[in-house]
Structure 1
Amino acid sequence: MQLNIQTAKRRKALSLTPLIDVVFILLLFFMLTSSFIKWHNMELAVSKPSTSTVQSSDQPPLLFTLVETGELSLRGQVYNETDNAVLAQLIDENSDASVILLTTDQVNVQQIISTIDRLKRLGAESVSLNTDR
C-alpha cells in the first residue's frame, strides 16, 4: 500500500527587486517635483518715457549703466563689486534722487536683478529699469 502524502508546498521567496524599483521611482518623482529654492518677490519699476518735465525732487536721477561684466557706470566713473562703500555713500548723498538703471544688450536678466537688489541694499529707495534704447 502506497500512501499518497504530499509534501507541503514551499512558498516562493518574495523578491525585493520590484519593491526597490518602485521606491526609487517614487523617490525620483518626489525629488524632481519638489522645490528646494526659497522664492523671493521683488518689486520692479520700469521707467516710462515722460512728456512732462516736472520731477518729484530737485535732484536729477542717478543714471547707472550696467555692462555685461557686472560693473556699474555713473557719469564716466566705473564701479565694480568691491566699490559698495563708495556706491552707498553716493546713494546716501543723493537720497532724494531716484535711481534709474540702464543696461547694454549683452546683460542677462540675472545680472539686472542682482544689480537692482545690490542698489536697494546699498540704500536706494526707488530703483527703476529703463527699457528705452
Structure 2
Amino acid sequence: MRVDRPARKQKPISLTPLVDVIFLLLLFFMLSSTFTTFGQLDLGAPAGSGGTGTVPEAILVLEETGLRLNGREIGEDLLMKEAQSLLDRDVDSLLLLVRGATTTQQLVAIMSRLKSLPDLKIVVANAQ
C-alpha cells in the first residue's frame, strides 16, 4: 500500500533576522572605529640625500635636553621669537638637526610650531 505524504508548504524567507544582523554589524563598526584626524607635516630632505640644493642659513639642533639655535641654547618659549627674528634678518632656510634620544613627538611639536611661519623653509636631518 502506498501512502502519500502531504506536500510541504514552503514558508517565505523572513528578512527580519538579516536586518537585525546588519544593524548589529553596523553598530559594532561604528562604535569600534576611531574618528581621529591625522595631520601631516611636509619635510624637506637635506641636500646630500637628494633634497633641495639650497644651503640652510641657520641651524636648529633638537636634543632631549633642549634646543640650540646657531650654537646658542634657547627655550621652547623663545623659539617662535627667535625664528621670527631670523626671518626679519632675511634668513629663510633652517636646518633642523635631530640628535640623541629625541622622540618623534618632540620633533612634530617643534615642526608644527615652526610651520606657522610660512616663509621659513625647514629641512630635517638626523645627526648622530
Tell me whether the two structures share a fold, i.e. TM-score over 0.5.
yes
| Partners of 1:99 and 1:124 within 8 A in 2 | no
| Partners of 1:88 and 1:123 within 8 A in 2 | no
RMSD, matched Cα? 3.0
Q: Which residue does the alignment assign to 2:59?
A: 63
Q: Which residue does the alignment assign to 1:47?
A: 46
| Partners of 1:84 and 1:122 within 8 A in 2 | no
In the aligned structure 1, how far is the partner of 2:54 from the partner of 2:88? Answer: 17
Q: CA deviation at 1:128?
A: 0.8
How many residue pairs end up in the alignment?
Answer: 104
Q: State the TM-score, normalized to the length of structure 1.
A: 0.60
| Partners of 2:99 and 2:127 within 8 A in 1 | no
| Partners of 1:47 and 1:131 within 8 A in 2 | no
Which runs of 5 or more structure 2 residues have no equivalent in the other structure? 1-19
Q: State the TM-score, normalized to the length of structure 2.
A: 0.62
Change (3 A) 1:73 1:61: same
Q: Which residue does the alignment assign to 1:36?
A: 35
Match of 1:80 among 70, 75, 80: 75
In the aligned structure 1, how far is the partner of 2:119 from the partner of 2:111? Answer: 9
Which runs of 5 or more structure 1 residues have no equivalent in the other structure? 1-18
In the aligned structure 2, how far is the partner of 1:67 from the partner of 1:132? Answer: 10
Identity %: 25
In the aligned structure 1, how far is the partner of 2:38 from the partner of 2:93? Answer: 27
Change (3 A) 1:38 1:97: same
CA offset digits 1:5-42 (Å, max 9, x no partner) = xxxxxxxxxxxxxx9xx96x86554322x222122222
Q: Which residue does the alignment assign to 1:5?
A: none
